[in-house]
A = this chain, B = another copy of it.
């Protein structure tokens, strides 16, 4: 591996001068050319570890995901990358596999790797996490959960859920079932459920326990929840099922189809997430587009801005869009 010293020797200059060639200092045209020629010949590229050690900047931003291979995650990462790559940053990826402790562990790790900032796709909120974030003392953005004291990009879960419920109501559904997730996830678990419940309450529609089930984000759990709902309410079937994610909605559709219910005539289904799949199902699924990629872009922009100058911690709420399709 050739170093700056090798180049300096070969060009008969000091390494200071070589460094200046790369950092826009005073260098005569003459010397600059001589050095560049040698650089090209040797294929020299400066060691970024050394540079990072000296400058305290790495040109890397850390991204913490709950799970790599989900469509949401890959859209967000793609958005982040689109923005940061333009500024010649790279992404260091970590995956918590949905384990809370790992979030904190990775924040520490990323800090010791001298990343210039961190974006966290958050799935929960807890005091230790907040503490770890503030201890890291780095530009930090949370996506998806409102972390106190942290710049957060939020989806409007409450209103998305209530709009969707209202859409079902507008389509003459009076008996609306719900497939949710656990409340450890404040946004998906709690906010979306509140949106659903409040809307039913406001429109004086019945809320029945046997119409409400809790899954774990997976297609299979959507299937199981639908099964429970149907079985537990044989005499009083709902006419619509609202699942808080597309995947669970898909599982529900599958069960309904297996049981011979037709969608939406017998039972309507709606989800959230605007997965690619949702458009190509039969019938196409009514859902909510959260513009995940834009959320990633926005997060990256805010992060870059914070790196230049400390900002007050703010909250940004993303827009969303109802996509009405034939499943309702």
How far apart sit A52 and B58, CA to CA, in the bound complex (Å)?
Answer: 12
User: Which residues 126-168 of A sit at the B interface, judged by CB distance below 8 A?
Assistant: 135
Task: Say if the beta carbon of A60 comes within 8 Å of chain B.
Answer: yes
A75-B69, A81-B95 given as contacts; is B111 within 8 A of A45 (CB)? yes
Query: Taking A93-B81, A94-B90 as contacts, is the C-beta distance between A112 and B68 under 8 angstroms?
Result: no
**CB-based nearest B residue for A77:** B68
Check B90 against A90 for contact (C-beta < 8 Å). no
Beta-carbon nearest neighbor of A70 in chain B: B74
Chain B CB within 8 A of A203 CB = no
Chain B residues with CB under 8 A of A125:
none
- Assess whether A32 is interfacial by the CB under 8 Å rule: no
Q: Mark A27-63, 1 if CB is under 8 A from B, else 0.
A: 0000000000000000101111110110000101000
- Give A299 Cβ to nearest chain B Cβ, in Å: 15
Residues of chain B within 8 A (CB-CB) of A81 are 68, 93, 95
A112 neighbours in B (Cβ, 8 Å): 45-48
Interchain CB contact under 8 A, B60 and A53: no
Contact A93 B95 (CB under 8 A): no
In the assembled complex, A281 has its CB within 8 A of some CB on chain B = yes
Name A61-79 residues within 8 Å CB distance of B: 67-71, 73-75, 77-78
Q: How far is the CA of A220 from the CA of B108 in the complex (A)?
A: 44
Q: What chain B residues lie within 8 Å of A92 (beta carbons)?
A: 60, 90-93
Q: What's the nearest-Cβ distance from chain B to residue A75, in Å?
A: 5
Say yes or no for A13: interface residue by CB 8 A criterion. Answer: no
Given A74-B68, A112-B46, is A91 in contact with B90 using a C-beta cutoff of 8 Å? no
With an 8 A cutoff between CB atoms, is A114 at the interface? yes
CB neighbours of A114 from chain B (8 A):
47-49
- Bitwise, A92-127 to B at CB < 8 A (1) or not (0) is 111100000000000011011110000000000000
A201 within 8 A of B: no
Distance A114 CA – B282 CA, assembled complex (angstroms):
49
Could you list which residues of chain A lie within 8 angstroms of chain B, going by C-beta atoms?
Answer: 43, 45-50, 52-53, 58, 60, 67-71, 73-75, 77-78, 81, 85, 90-95, 108-109, 111-114, 135, 219, 250, 254, 276-277, 280-282, 293
Task: Sort A-B residue pairs by CB-CB distance and give the 3 closest, nearest first.
Answer: A282-B282, A45-B112, A69-B78
